[in-house]
Amino acid sequence: MSLKSRVFYLALLDSFIVMFSIFLGYLILAPTGSLLTTVLIVSSITLLVSHHFFANRYKIYNRVWQYASMGELAAIFKVVTFSILITAVLQLVFNQSIFFRTLMITWMLHILLIGGSRFSWRLYRDTYIKRREDQIPTLIIGAGSGGTMVARQLLQNPDAELTPVAFIDDDQRKQGLEILGIPVLGTSASIEQVVKQNRINHIIIAIPSLSKKELNDIFMECSKTKARTQIIPKLEDLMVGKVSVNSFRDVEVEDLLGREPVELDTEKIGQKLTGKTILVTGAGGSIGSEVCRQVCSFGPETIVLLGHGENSIYSIELELKKRYPNIQVETEIADVQDREKIFVIMEKYKPHVVYHAAAHKHVPLMERNPEEAVKNNVVGTRNVAEAASSASVGTFVMVSTDKAVNPTNVMGATKRIAEMIVQHMDIVSDTKFVAVRFGNVLGSRGSVIPLFKKQIQEGGPVTVTHSDMVRYFMTIPEASRLVLQAGALARGGEVFVLDMGEPVKIVDLARNLIRLSGYTEEEIPIVFTGMRPGEKMFEELLGADEVHPEQIYPKIYIGKTPLVDINVCHDVVRDLDNLSKEELRKQLLDIANFRNKKLQIVG
């Protein structure tokens, strides 16, 4: 039925209801006489016109009544009440009095019949239209607004694959109650029992405001069952309308291990980025590309994407041009080791801020190829830093790692030496140079998660180096936000560190991924392979002598790292071709751990 036909038939039905209501009201209570006929006719016409006017005003002919709820009932109440009030006013003008009791009866009949005509279809559908037998019994965790919305949408859609049979909620006041005819059967501690007793095959976690820890605790209870566990979208995605409440998705490891996000000082960051030229090295990488996305959200005039891999740079270029058509996106395919070209690029664009994310980060590979780690992480950083200084860049932010603290491997040592270079440049340059340290990034190319997922897809086993190995984890967006916030807070020479909360056991990460993939440890076993060369049992974000106890921004600290004679670092670079891999590795670790006597700590 077309919209015009639908409106016509509903208006015709309403007209009959209006006339029936007022005539019945007058028949029951109104006095008789010639005056009655005149008042009745005038009142009927007034009520009918008023009803259609307010019905159009509150769009009750445009509503989908099979999903009717309190909002629709409120609209009917307003339409009927305002129509009766207009009629009463006209009676007072025309007759010098109002038939209060008659209009009250008319008002009640009017609401009852209009509401009944609209809600009857929903009542019929909910009562007599049977659910399909192949629908999956579903447990909804959270009997609040989120869970109620999920249940209502599933109940209103007979074609839905899922059918809600029970709620779980930790609020003791809701225990034993029913919501939309669905019982609240227990708390999160009884999930396993409720699933077994009700033969539930699907679980939906419907509390969008859950903290990471709360979600982790609930998921651990869900993982004790064989039911598939999904979650409704994040609260911010629901609020901006990016997704609907029934856009269920699987629980990801980022949901369980990611930390609560750090709120940004958007005003301060905007002052650094809005309308400016920004250059990002390593722009095609997992961190670099996310930095580009975050930068573009602040509306720079130009963003320069510098990277060595043409495919990854092309990919992020296309994405940014599509999402931010008003921002000038420039691309430069270049290796940070190419000093001459880096200087040319920096002079060409003269950026206001440089985010240096280009680096070799793979620990075992850098152990086997220490000279490449030096070329990219040390020489490359020096080239970009000196070019930035030469081009009078305002702020230079280097992306570092927790492996730079008391490093035991080549990758960490070269990143620590890169920090030394950046701190030295801050002393000799007008550019503000800072570094940002954070731990492992969930989902990045160097993360262990892609390896675990691949091993699970291949049927296992999942390989973990040691049962006690722990690491700090954060998401790619949070790591990138920290980089931007550090640039906004920079005064020069700082090493910024994020309070990353509690470290996570790698074996627990592996177990979570196995459960999230729908397997048990019996199906996908975990095998311990032993620690690899250069690995540490745990990582540190600051050394014991580097810690400033106070936060300079929520969850952000500044390290007080000592200054060194930078010439010692340059000597290693000059001797690169004359050193064996073992000699080079030893010298790098001696410098990074301040064991080199020539280092001459100066502050």
Residues 6 or more apart whose Cβ sits within 8 Å of residue 185: 166, 167, 168, 194, 198
Does residue 242 have an active-site annotation?
no
Strands 432-437 and 395-399, bridge-based pairing: parallel
* Given the residues 403, 432, 536, 555, the one annotated as active site: 403
Q: How far apart are CA 372 and CA 374, in angstroms?
A: 5
- Name the amino acid, one letter, at 425: M
Distance, CA of 142 to CA of 222 (rounded, Å): 13
Q: Which helix (H) or strand (E) holds 3?
A: helix 3-29
What distances in angstroms separate CA 524 from CA 219, 455, 458, 566, one per listed residue? 19, 9, 10, 50
Cis amide leading into 461 (omega within 30): yes
Residues 281, 331: Cα–Cα separation, whole Å: 10
Burial track 294-305 (b if 16+ CB lie within 10 A, e otherwise): bbbebebebbbb
The separation between the first and the last C-alpha atoms of the chain, rounded to the nearest angstrom, is 81
d(CA 353, CA 551): 24
Bridge-based pairing state of the strands 249-250 and 228-231: antiparallel
Residue 81 buriedness (CB in 10 A; 0-12 / 13-18 / 19+) = middle
Task: Taking the CA atoms of 449, 451, 454 and 456 in sequence, report the sign of the dihedral they define.
Answer: negative
d(C-alpha 336, C-alpha 379), whole Å: 8
Active site residues: 403
